[in-house]
Structure 1
Amino acid sequence: MYLPLLLLLNVLCQETLAMPPTNPLLWFREPCSSMDMPYHFGMRGRNGIYWGWNPDVERGDNITMINRATGYQATTVSYFSQINSPSGYDGHQLLEHLDEIKGTGAALIAAVMPNGLSFNEVTPAIAADIANVVRQFTDQGIEVWLRFAHEMNWYVKPGTYRGNSTQFIKAWQTVHAAVKDIEGCLMFWNPNNANTMDLYEQWWPGPEYVDIVGMDIYASKTTANFRNIYGGFYEAYAKKYQKHFVIPETATKPDDAALKQSWLKAMASDDLSAYPCLKSISWFELRKSFDYRVVMGQGNEVMEQSMENFR
Structure 2
Amino acid sequence: MYAYWLALLFLLHSVNASPHPHPHPLAKPRHRQRPANVVYVPAPSSSTSTVVQQSTSIPQGTTLGQTGGTTGGTTGGTTGGGGSVSLPASCYKYNGLGVGLQALGDPKSIISSVTNQPPCMYGRFITMISSGGQITYDQPLDTGASKAASVGAVYVVSLKPPKGVDFTVIARSASQIGKDIDAMAAGFQGQIWLRLAHEFNWYVQNGEYTGDGPGFKEMWTAISGAITQKSKVKMYWCPNPPSSTGDSVDELHQKYWPGDGTVDLVGIDAYLTPPSYNGKFSDSVPTEFCNKYQNLDLYLGEAGVLPSGGTQTQQKYWLDQVKNGKSTCGNYKGFLWFEMTPPGEGNFGVFSNGVAAAELS
TM-score (norm 2): 0.68
Tell me which residue corresponds to 2:357: 307
Count of residues in Structure 1 that have an aligned counterpart in Structure 2 = 278
Alignment pair present for 1:80 and 2:125: yes
Tell me which residue corresponds to 2:153: 106
- Does the CA-based 8 Å contact 1:122-1:174 persist in structure 2? no
SS state at 1:265 partner: helix
- Where structure 1 has 5 or more consecutive residues not aligned to the other structure, the ranges are 1-16
Tell me which residue corresponds to 1:183: 231
CA apart distance, 1:248: 0.8
Q: 1:93 to 1:275 in 2, by over 3 A?
A: same
CA apart distance, 1:257: 1.6
SS state at 2:135 partner: coil
- Paired with 1:282 and 1:171, the residues of 2 have a C-alpha distance of 25
Q: 1:149 to 1:233 in 2, by over 3 A?
A: farther
- Does the CA-based 8 Å contact 1:134-1:144 persist in structure 2? no
Deviates more, 1:257-266 or 1:154-163: 154-163
Letter in 2 for 1:281: F
Tell me which residue corresponds to 1:150: 198
- Does the CA-based 8 Å contact 1:146-1:187 persist in structure 2? yes
Indicate which of 136, 157, 164 corresponds to 1:89: 136
Tell me which residue corresponds to 2:92: 43
Q: Deviations over 1:11-51 (max 9, x none)?
A: xxxxxx9999765657674268xxx9876211112x22000
Tell me which residue corresponds to 1:243: 296
Q: Deviations over 1:51-102 (max 9, x none)?
A: 00111x3xxx342441344443111011011111141235734323222221
Letter in 2 for 1:84: I
Q: 1:53 to 1:193 in 2, by over 3 A?
A: same
SS state at 2:231 partner: coil
SS state at 1:83 partner: strand
Tell me which residue corresponds to 2:256: 203
Indicate which of 334, 337, 343 corresponds to 1:283: 337
SS state at 1:88 partner: strand
CA-based RMSD:
3.1
- Does the CA-based 8 Å contact 2:181-2:227 persist in structure 1? no
Q: 1:206 to 1:120 in 2, by over 3 A?
A: same
- Paired with 2:356 and 2:160, the residues of 1 have a C-alpha distance of 31
Tell me which residue corresponds to 1:63: 107
- Paired with 1:100 and 1:22, the residues of 2 have a C-alpha distance of 12
Alignment pair present for 1:170 and 2:222: no
- Paired with 1:184 and 1:107, the residues of 2 have a C-alpha distance of 10
- Where structure 2 has 5 or more consecutive residues not aligned to the other structure, the ranges are 1-61, 78-84
Alignment pair present for 1:30 and 2:79: no
- Paired with 2:65 and 2:292, the residues of 1 have a C-alpha distance of 27
Q: Deviations over 1:202-251 (max 9, x none)?
A: 01112221111111121235644433431335334322xx1111101011
- Paired with 1:237 and 1:20, the residues of 2 have a C-alpha distance of 36
CA apart distance, 1:135: 3.9
| Stretches of 4+ aligned residues off by more than 4 angstroms | 17-28, 36-39
Tell me which residue corresponds to 1:294: 350
- Does the CA-based 8 Å contact 1:138-1:185 persist in structure 2? no
Letter in 2 for 1:263: W
Tell me which residue corresponds to 2:34: none
- Does the CA-based 8 Å contact 1:89-1:130 persist in structure 2? no
- Does the CA-based 8 Å contact 2:174-2:219 persist in structure 1? no
- Does the CA-based 8 Å contact 2:124-2:156 persist in structure 1? yes
- Does the CA-based 8 Å contact 2:111-2:351 persist in structure 1? no
- Does the CA-based 8 Å contact 1:113-1:150 persist in structure 2? yes
SS state at 2:141 partner: helix
Q: 1:235 to 1:39 in 2, by over 3 A?
A: same
- Paired with 2:222 and 2:325, the residues of 1 have a C-alpha distance of 38
Structure with more of its chain in helix, by fraction: 1
- Paired with 2:289 and 2:233, the residues of 1 have a C-alpha distance of 22
TM-score (norm 1): 0.77
- Paired with 2:236 and 2:229, the residues of 1 have a C-alpha distance of 15
- Paired with 1:153 and 1:97, the residues of 2 have a C-alpha distance of 26
Percent identity at matched positions?
Answer: 19
- Paired with 1:203 and 1:194, the residues of 2 have a C-alpha distance of 11
SS state at 1:128 partner: helix
